[in-house]
Every structure is written in structure tokens, then in C-alpha cells.
Chain A
Amino acid sequence: VTARWGLIKIAALYWAVLGLAMLLYLAIDPEAFGASVPIVAGTVVGAAFGQALAAARVRGWLATLIVLAIGIVFVPCEEALWLSCLAAALSGYWSLGDRTSLAAFWYPSVLWMLPIIDGVDANALPDRNGLLLLVAPALLFVVFLRIREQRRIALWRTVATVTLATPRAPVILRDGSRREVARAGWVMTVTALCLGVTGYLAPQLWRWHGSLAEHATAGYTAAAVGTGMACCPAVDAEVTHVHVKEYFEVRGVTHAHSPQPGFDCRVCPIATAGSTGGAGVAVGDAVDVTQGASTLGSLQPWPSASVTVSGPSGSSVPLPPTPTLATSPMGPSPIAVSVPPSLAPAPPPPHVVEVSAAPPVPPPAPPPLPVASTVSQGAPIAASNSPHTSNTTQRSPGIDVLALVIAVVTALAALRVVTLLLRPLRRLVTLRHLRHPLWPETVDQRVSNSWQLALVGLRDAGWRASPEEGAREFARRVGIDAADRCATILERARHGIALDHDDLVSMDVEADVVYRAARARIGAVARAATWLRWPLVD
């Protein structure tokens, strides 16, 4: 790999990572197309600009200044546009830089996180597609590292402040132990280990970020002080819009949860406004809900809050305040949160909410594909409260990435297996032709065929002929007498010295002897493995 070719490979892979992330996001959630346009535009422009700066060998500090200056110019534009342009430009520059591989991969990770965290459920765990999408960038990062290292090696061999010798291509004179399978296994094991660690640990670092949705509940009516049980909400369902924090705002998940009277809450008389204090929260305000998934679980399930719903114009509408839950160890909580059953101290059973205020709707048909149970902002609450999704609302189905990947991988594996299974057949036919030509051939060609047969056997045993090495030199090196005799006849043929029938017969016999003698030097397993080797002679 030359340095220039390595540069092209890195740039191509980088763009593939970016493009794949954006395509997958749109494929999984086609409704996000409108919101993605500025991100896509900013990413393309920014990454191209950053890589152009890198190719022009602009120093890092200057490139950063240029990018920041241009970012400031774009600030009046849409936020997503300049945010993506800024980050993509820096990332594009770092993608070709030295020692900046991880920093360069941050922005592609941001794009990959969009479809993942958009499908995160209330347990802060990605859904099936999300898990796959979490593993995919990790795998691509390993490939990215490997290609960068190849380019670094090419640069190390060609760029220096001292005079460098001109290297020749390395010549393998004899193969060592055959550990291709072990090598492939090692690569897969290490990669799987890294992917597993990443897939397990990364979601634990995610933080929730929440706000009340348009259909937010009006809050709790009252609390029975000293009973330890909150009052049931005045409106049927408590709806909270939460999402995992990210560089770009994602739409997140709208959680709807109705406490069951008698279990989760108690029915209280409706309190008048102002009977209890509490902080108002406007709809759409970003509020930190928890510090993390485990902290989320430590919250009380139904803390009381006084919320204020703001209208579309941003005006705040005071809602009836709710009393503070006396037994809550955390005191007044800013908003009400639906807690995943698995993390709550006293997990409530799944509860189907019936929305009495809305007209009765038929139960929705099961989704055609098992996709994430997330919801877009405009989704009706009724749908979110369906029996199928008691905690979250349903997002329009996109592509099932997992099924797609499984199909592609299976097809590739099948193709590979078929190719491997055909190799013994190819070898069998080739060896048959080298021993006994399948069609009439000249004497010189038959001599050459016999020599090829000997070379196949020697190659099976690990011996390789160097390009600058003559046939007799090679024959002497391998230490098989018959090989020397074969080489002698071959050189006579190459120099145009007439060969008679005895020479041809002798060549056939000696070549077969060489083939068998060489293969006898290796073990049975290695001998069997040679039937899968292709090409037969390098």
C-alpha cells in the first residue's frame, strides 16, 4: 500500500462511514428526512472542506481556526447546519491526521448514534436494530484503524528526514507454520471482544434528557401526606418526552404511563390551584431527568411536580400545582418521569391506559416489522397507549437492519463456502492436466507442465521460488534430488536443446517424485489443507 493509495482508502472509508450512517438513519426512519437535510448538507460540505485542508497540509491549529471562523459565519443559518458543518470539518481534517483517529471518529459516531438513540427504550437500551447499529461503527472503527496503520507504515517507509534506502519486495523463500485459521480466529475474537465491551458499556454512559410533550399531563391533584402514596393524575396519562443526550437533538421517545389507582397512586380530591407550591415547567424546556440509567431507577416512581404547559407561542399556562410527595427522599422533582419497570424500586405491572378523553380507537394492527417502539412528536397519544406499547408510542416502521444484515452475511458466507468447496475440484483438474494433458501439447509445454507439478508439490510444503532464482538454484535449495534432475531437463528445454522421448518420460516421473516427496514432508492435516489452497503456484 503506497501512501497515496492509503490516503484514498482512508478517505473512502471515512465517507462510507458517514454515508452509511446517514442512509441507515433515513432508511430506518423515513420521516426524519426533512430534519436530516441540514445535517446531511453540513456534513458533506464540512467533511470535504476538512479533508481538503488536510490534503493541503495545513497545520492543525490553522485548520481549526479556519473551520471555527467559517462556523461563525454560518451561525445565523439553521443550527443543525452549522453544527454539523463545524464538527464534520474538524473530523474530516483529523481523519487524515496523525494520532487523531479516535477524535476523527467522534463525528461519524454522532451520526451513527442518531438512529440508535432514537430507538432507545425506557431502559436506556437500544432496540435490536440499535444494538446492531452500535456494533457496526465499532467494527468500522477497527477497519479504519487498520487502514490508517497501513498508510502510516507506507509513510514510515518513504518519508523521513534522512536518506532512505529503496526497498525491494520481500521474498518468501519458505512458508512457515500455516496459521491462517488461527489468525482469522484471532482477528474475530479480538474484534468481538472490543465490540462486546463497547456494546455493553457504551449505553451505560448515556444520559437522559427530557421535556414535556404537547400532551403533557396536568399533574397530580393532591397527595396524601404521610401515606406514602401519591395521588393519581388528574388527566388519564402522564406523558413525558425524553431522549438520550447527543450533539444533535433527536426526537426521542414519548413515554405514556398511567398509574393504577390503588397500586401506584390513590384517588384524591382535586385540589385548587395554588394550594401547594411547586416549580412550573414549560413544555419543550430541556430538563435533565436523570444522571443515567441507574440513577433513573433510583427515582421515586411518581414524584409530584407542578408543571406549566406552554402554548405554541411560548406563553406559559399555569397548571394546577400538585403537592410534594412527603415520602419522596429526593424532595420535589422537576417533572414526572415514567420509570422502567425493571429499574423501579417497586415495579408496577404493565398497564394498559385507556384514554377516555379521546374517541375510542381500534387496537392498532401489529407492526409489520419488529422495529423500535419510539414515537415521533406528532404521534397521537392514543396510539402510544395501545396495549402493544404501554410505555412508549409507536414510530412508523422502517427497514429491519438486522434482517438485512443477516441476509447479506449469509449470502456472502454461502458464496465463500461454495468457492472453497470448488477449490479441490479445480486442483484435481489442474493436476490431472499437468500429469496427463487433457489435450495434445508440445514437448516443451509438457516439460513445463511437469515442472509446474513439481512446483505445486514444493509450494504445498512451503517452498517458494524467488523471482531472481534460477530453476537449478531453487532445486538445490529445496534439497530433493529429483528436483535437480527436473530442473536440468527444464533448462535444456528452455535453451532450445532437443529433448527425446526418454527425457519427457524422465521428467514426468521425476516431477511426480518431487511432488510426492515434498508433500511427504508435511503432516496429514497440512496435506489435507493444501486441497483448499489457491493459486497452486505463486
Chain B
Amino acid sequence: MTGRSVRRLALVAPLLVTLVVPNHHDAIVLGVGSVLAAMWAAMAVAVATRITAALWRRVSPWVYLDVLTTSGAAMMWTATMALFLAAALGWASLGFVAVLGIGIVLVAATWTATVACGDHPWRRATVARTIVPASAVEGDPLREDIRIEGFRMPLGMRLFVTGRVQRHGAVSRYVVDGGDGEGELLLSSELGPALRGEHRAPPLELWLVDVLGLARTPTVLRGAAELLVLPRPPLVDGVRALLGTARDDAMSVPTQHAPTEGTFRIREYAPGDDTRRIHWVRSMQQQALVVRLPDELPLAEPAVRVILDNDLDSDAMTCRAPDELLDALVRIWLGIGQVLAATGARVTMVAATRTNGKLDIVERSLPARHSHAACLLGARISWQTGTPLADLTSESRDKLIVVSSRRSRLAGRWTWVVVPEAMWTTPEAEPSKRSEWRLPFAIGSPENRASRRELAHRTATLRWAQSSYFRQVVCWIDWSRFKGDHVARPSGARVKVSVIP
């Protein structure tokens, strides 16, 4: 029997016990039973009214039967047992506790079903949820703001709100007391660092619970939100080695000037330019910052296609490793591209991503300065299985650099930069052994309940198993087979690309 069934059954259990079990006890049947039956009938009418309204609106009526919280159901069952024992033993305290428990739960359930379960509290309510900043860069601290306006808080109730913005991000939980929920209210919480990606936060779950915690309303969904988190490309060392050993890009010739031409090539300052190159005289003349460019031209401006290998099926995975690895891949992919562009190469970023639900191969040329377009492309990238790596290559004679988490068996003139999973993901916590002697959390916490412990244990076990499986899929332990390829490893806040000897 599920917990929900136990809660629903708790609504009728005391009545059955009162009427059926102590039949020999006239006092209970006539005195106590009649009063409790009247209170139960009032509660039943309130619940039935809600169910009828739900049927009229063609929504599921079952949620309205789930009017008791777990605490309320537990109290009802305890009171029922006390009532039974009071009839058997006759102890005054048992009778007192039984009547008190059943009475309070019935009053709470009746009141909740009457005033809080319907649409009335939500009729004029607006729940606006914003994530600040709306467009963040990976690692930025995020804040969630929920503005509730026009909500009509029923007397004796509290509003509970919970939601999650990012898939592996923090869960926000709020409780609004009494009259605070009316008028205009702002709820905020710090969500922690932003995780790369286009996040579509599911709506918040809102429900009401009476102040004694015995009865509740069905959940209402409001306030969906969207968030775009751009990747933060790191500084990558050792990229020059990806272009080969010819070093022709390092050789340059002087620029040929006409007599009327200036000494330097100049252009407007862009963020990231070396401030020592600012041409102050020209800047004063143009009232804008102008920088000088080197008075030389490289002998060769190699054209490079930096390809991201995001071909992997990870939809069913609930562990964090696939997402963490993809974030690392995107960061390194963009970082390599930016460093190459800064060295004078003509860089084209290539990846397969979904646009309006359709899988496309997207190419973005990367200028020497920071490219917002490339970062936008990086934010949209997710694991996919529709476009194999071979489709990302073109017939051009450009140099191909593939950033991948595993060495593919494809042959060709590609330069591989392998991002080893073990270095870029957080190991999933092994499911801890449950102590049979001590509770895992502070006493009184709902998380100590056996059902929740079981669920948490199952979830942790599943994540750990999936993490192990994922590691097996992407791991590569025979380094000798990848001789001559490159590996990207973290080096403090930077990334170091080195050749596998």
C-alpha cells in the first residue's frame, strides 16, 4: 500500500473503528460516535464538493482526496488506535487523546477542503519568477526572485513553494506565513553557481498547508522561467602545438606601405586587447580608443576547423558526470578556438546542436576577439546522437582539430584533443551504508522517514551505477594507442594541452 493510499484511508478509518469495532460499547456508538460521525460528514461534504468541482472542470479528482498531510494521517491513525484502546482499556487519557486527535484533524481537513482547495486563493494571483542575471556566464552566482502578487491567503494556512532551475542545481524552498502572502511579496534565494546551458526551469510547485501541518491542498504549478548560461572559455596553454611543427605561422614579413599610408594598421579597441597597443593620439582624435596592430603580416594564416564531438547518448543518465564532461568539452573547445584565433589563425567552430528542436551542424567563424556568437553556440550544445562525428568534417583542406572525450576509430588527418572524463567530472558519491542505529538527519526531519530514505538510497545507487557505466563508456586507459594525440588537463584555472608521448 502506498503512502498516498494510507493517507486517503486515514480519512475514513476512525469512522469505521467507531462504528464497527466497539459495537458492544453503547457509550461510544451513541455519544462519541455520533459527534465524530457528524464532524466526519462535514469533512466528507467539503471534500465531495471539491471532487465534484474537479469533475466539472475535467481535472483529476483524486488529488482532492489527498487532503491530509503525512503528519495529519499519522495523527489520525494514532488517534484511531487510541480510540480503540480507550474502548478496550478504558483509560481516561486514551479517550482524551483519541478525541482530541480525531477532532483536530477533522477540523483541519474540513477547513482546508472548504477554503483552500479551490481556485479562490489563486484567482487573482500572479507568480512572476525571474533568474538574476537572466543571461549569465558559467560560474556566476545566480539568484531566484519570485514575486507573488494578488494571492489571497486563506485563514490559518501557510504557503509552501519549491522549485528547481537547473538540472543539477540547488532546489529552492520557501514558506510564507499567514498574512505575509497577501499584497505583494518578494521571495529570493541564492541558487549557487550557474551551470552552462539553456535552462528551462519547470514551474514552481505551490501548495497550502494549515498552520498545524495536518491538511494540505493539491499542488498548483506557476512561474516557469528560462535562463541562458554562456560557457566561460578558459585560457588554454599549448595550443600552438596543435598547428603542427612547421612554425610557419610565427614567421612574418614587413608590411608594404605606400608613401601616403600611415605607419601602423589601426582599428578600434576591443575588450581583451593589450592596452599597451592603444594609440593615444588617434584615440584623442577619434574620441574612442584605437589600437595599433603589428606592422607585419604572418606568412601564413592557417584555416582551422575546431570540431566538437558531442555524439553520445546520455538522455537516460541522471548522474552529473555527462553534463560536467560536456561543459568541460565546450569550455576547452571554445578556449582552443579563441587562442588559435588570437594567434592569427582563421578559426571556424563546428558543432552539432539543436535549433528549434531540429539537429543541425552549426559553423561559426571565430574572430580574434571574444565572440559572443560562439559562446551562444556553446550554450546551446547538448549531447546528441543524430549526427556522427564523420558528418562534421568537410571536404575543405582546412586543418581539423577535434575536441572529444574519447579517441574515435576514425582515420584521417585530424588532430585530436582528448578530454579525459576522470579529470573533468566529480566522482559520484558512493551510496552510503545506512546505519541501523542512528538516524541520518536530525530527529523530526521528514527525510528520516523510511520511504524517503529508501528513495534517496535508490537514487544514489542509480546515479552511482550510471556514473560507473558512463566512465566505462568514455574512459580510455591504453595511452600508448593515442601516441601523438593531445590531452587537455586542468592546470589551476587554466587548461594545458600536451602531446601524449
Contact = CB atoms under 8 A, between A and B. Distances in A.
Interface in B450-475: 452, 456, 459-460
B81 to A, nearest CB: 9
Given A155-B446, A170-B180, A178-B179, 13 more contacts: A102-B75, A102-B82, A106-B94, A148-B213, A163-B171, A170-B174, A172-B185, A176-B152, A179-B179, A186-B156, A197-B35, A203-B92, A205-B95
Given A106-B82, A165-B191, A205-B95, A149 B184 contact: no
20 contacts: A98-B449, A102-B74, A142-B212, A145-B212, A165-B190, A166-B190, A171-B185, A173-B183, A186-B156, A190-B111, A190-B156, A194-B100, A197-B103, A198-B96, A202-B99, A205-B32, A207-B90, A245-B90, A294-B30, A295-B27
Interface residues of B, number: 90
Contact of B172 (A98, A134, A151, A165): A165
The 10 closest A-B pairs by CB, nearest first: A176-B182, A207-B90, A205-B95, A176-B183, A99-B74, A149-B213, A292-B27, A174-B184, A165-B172, A165-B170
B443 interface: yes
A167 B27 contact: no
Interface stretch (B196-204, B296-304, B432-440): B432-440
A198 B99 contact: yes
A121 B170 CA distance: 61
B322 to A, nearest CB: 18
B157 to A, nearest CB: 10
B52 interface: no
Contacts of B211: 146, 149
Nearest to B438: A57
A293 B185 contact: no
Contact of A57 (B30, B75, B155, B442): B442
A3 B447 CA distance: 14
A501 interface: no
Interface residues of A, number: 90
A157 B447 CA distance: 11
Interface of A: 3, 7, 54-59, 62, 96-103, 105-106, 109-110, 112-113, 116-117, 134, 137-138, 141-142, 145-146, 148-149, 151-153, 155-157, 159-168, 170-180, 182-183, 186-187, 190, 193-194, 197-198, 200-207, 209, 244-247, 291-295, 462, 466
A187 B156 CA distance: 7
Contacts of A110: 91, 93
B178 interface: yes
Interface in B410-451: 436-439, 441-449
A7 B442 CA distance: 10
Contact of A151 (B93, B439, B444): B444
A193 B156 CA distance: 14
B93 A246 contact: yes
B173 A155 contact: no
B294 interface: no
Given A59-B438, A163-B169, A170-B185, A247 B93 contact: yes
B25 A292 contact: yes
Give the most central of B184, B436, B443: most A CB within 10 Å: B443
B139 interface: no
Nearest to B104: A194
B229 to A, nearest CB: 16
